[in-house]
A and B are shown apart, each in its own frame.
Chain A
Amino acid sequence: MIRMALHLFGYDLRAFVRNRQSQFFTLALPVLFLVIFASVFGGSGHSTEVAGGRISMSVYYVPGIIALGVIAACFGNLVASVTAQRERGVLKRRRATPVPAAAVIAGRVFTSVIIAVVMAAVLLGIGWAAYGAHVPGRTALALAVTVVIGAASFCCLGYALTSLIRNEDAALPTTQALLLPLYFISGVFVAVPVLPHWLADVGEIFPVRHLANALLVAYNPHTTGLGFAGLDLLIVAAWGAAGLLIAVRMFSWMPLGR
């Protein structure tokens, strides 16, 4: 099972790297967002209030855009590619082989998680090189665990949404329509203290806010202790579990939109 999942992972990753849409939306866009937001709002000593003190806006954007990168890889890209695979009969054909269903799904999830981890590392590198921000050693583990929990949870949500989309052309617009407003009200594009209270409260409902916050806690140089944001991680994982439940009940190998 694991051998077959890894076998499929190798080919899924290769297909990902060769796809222009995924290159742009998953690899290039998060980097572009970090550079743009940090340049526009992070210049000349702009700072924002975080737990334990103040940090420069350019440093503030690093964990937020990491959240965006994780979500782009595990949710946006996964929904688009799995929906396309299903509608084009690729999943059905894979299902006709002896491969266990779980191996097909695990191989694809593994692809997204690896991309998410790589994106997180790249964004951390840019934050360190350009804005002099670095992860405190004592919270590095918390950051890594948060990335992986976030990645896995958003993969589950991705499979859930895929089961609800009937047409591959609808996949990308649907994920973007869901995510863009959430990025604005979840502290990814705009610092939470700047948001009106009611808007911040709406953001609190959704997992984007909690993943961004958990990453900020692990990234914030003023954080004391190990940097695990327990409640945030729990909420993200709960959303993931709900997604998993929907995915298990509704996942289809057969094209839906004929």
Chain B
Amino acid sequence: MDSISKEYGVDQAAAGPARSEPVVSVRGLVKRYASHDAVAGIDLEVRRGEIFAFLGPNGAGKTTTVEILEGFRQRTAGQVCVLGHDPATAGGAWRDRVGVVWQESQPEPGLSVRECLAMYAGLYRAPRDIDQTIALVGLTEKAGALGTRLSGGQRRRLDFALALIGDPELIFLDEPTTGFDPSARRAAWEVVAGLRQLGKTVFLTTHYMDEAEYLADRITVISAGHIVAEGTPQTLGGRDHMTTAISFTLPDHVQARDLPPGLRSLTEPGPGGSTVLHSGSPLAHLQMISNWALGRGFDLPDLDVHRPALEEVYLSLTGPASKKDQP
């Protein structure tokens, strides 16, 4: 585990906004079912005020882990500390400080959005203002509508509001945008990003790479019950050390071997007669390419600069090849 941490730059990240107390601290967590370990010994740490993404494919152990952290499932082994307490035994005072949004929960039947929030507000010691919370999730126009009449995206926003109404310090979001259309996802992301402004700590599980990249301060990747990578969106999986692919199509009368000597060795033929150049210092190489092309009097209209997307890193971490290495 330590070697992975060092390799993937967690230590650098820890030096930044951290140094504050951990809100979630997990050591050697195991959840064993009859035939297999859904969670096979993981360590996690989430610090105050950060958005932490717990990323992995379906069935990797994300929901099992998060339900243990919420106090809804018993663990088989390991130490778990959330807001200074063990969730397995924590009581009402602890739940007063924690908000939860689940993958699938439906509205309270027969109650309007505002009634639903008023009902939940009455269960907390110091709830937030109801109308303000409705506005925060963008449901003001639907405040009088029955929860069961809302669309899928609106229901999830109601879930957000219910998780926020107790003014929690820590919020668990379990795959908050699964099944959303693109505009509903954007709207949900804005709400989550708004939680950062409120100073909340957010524990987000997702199987969408772009969601983690857009929202998270730090990402931990779980696959088949094991943690396979940790880092920031920029450093995850050694992404910051990977080469950039610069691709372009040369005019008919120019060949790749005509390129300046320093670049020639970096190229390989790409798809559709294009040329791909793998660069460790993309800015310098781009300048060389553009000087060379402009000096010869032609442009490279399909020039494309491509950093390995986080998605590609993620797929390589969680794909079948990486599973082979696991016990």
Contact = CB atoms under 8 A, between A and B. Distances in A.
Interface of A: 4, 7-8, 11, 14-19, 81, 84-85, 88-90, 92-100, 253-254
B95 A93 contact: no
B109 A84 contact: yes
B115 A14 contact: yes
Contact of A7 (B102, B104, B119): B119
12 contacts: A7-B119, A11-B119, A14-B111, A14-B115, A19-B110, A84-B109, A88-B109, A89-B102, A89-B105, A90-B108, A92-B102, A96-B98
A15 B111 contact: yes
Contact of B95 (A11, A18, A88, A98): A98
Interface stretch (B14-22, B121-129, B279-287): B121-129
B106 A7 contact: no
Interface string B137-173: 0000000000000000000000100100010000000
A92 B123 CA distance: 14
Contacts of A99: 92, 123
B108 A100 contact: no
Interface in B65-88: 70, 72
Interface string B160-202: 0010001000000000000000000000000000000000000
A98 B110 contact: no
Most chain B CB atoms below 10 A, which of A14, A19, A96: A96
A164 to B, nearest CB: 21
A7 B123 contact: yes
Contact of A254 (B72, B95, B119, B166): B72
A98 B122 CA distance: 10
Secondary structure call for the A interface:
helix
B156 to A, nearest CB: 12
Contacts of A253: 72
Contacts of B92: 98-100
Given A92-B72, A96-B98, A11 B105 contact: no
A11 B112 CA distance: 11
Contacts of B109: 15, 19, 81, 84-85, 88, 90
A99 to B, nearest CB: 4
B72 A93 contact: no
Contacts of B102: 89, 92-93
Nearest to A11: B119
B106 A89 contact: yes
Given A15-B110, A18-B110, A98 B104 contact: no
A8 B93 contact: no
B292 interface: no
Most chain A CB atoms below 10 A, which of B104, B105, B111, B166: B105
B248 interface: no
Nearest to B94: A98
A85 B72 CA distance: 17
B120 interface: yes
A197 B106 CA distance: 49
A199 to B, nearest CB: 39
Contacts of B96: 98
Contacts of B106: 88-90
Contacts of A14: 110-111, 115
A192 to B, nearest CB: 39
Nearest to B124: A98
B100 interface: yes
A93 B162 contact: yes
Contacts of B120: 97
B115 A96 contact: no
B170 to A, nearest CB: 12
Contacts of A89: 102, 104-106
B305 to A, nearest CB: 45
A11 B105 CA distance: 18
Contacts of B124: 97-98
Contact of B110 (A16, A92, A93): A16
CB-based closest 10 A-B pairs: A89-B105, A15-B110, A98-B92, A88-B106, A18-B110, A97-B123, A98-B96, A11-B119, A96-B100, A99-B123
Contacts of A81: 109
Given A90-B107, A92-B102, A97-B166, 18 more contacts: A4-B123, A7-B122, A7-B123, A8-B119, A8-B123, A14-B111, A14-B115, A15-B111, A88-B105, A88-B106, A88-B109, A90-B105, A96-B72, A96-B99, A96-B100, A97-B120, A98-B125, A253-B72
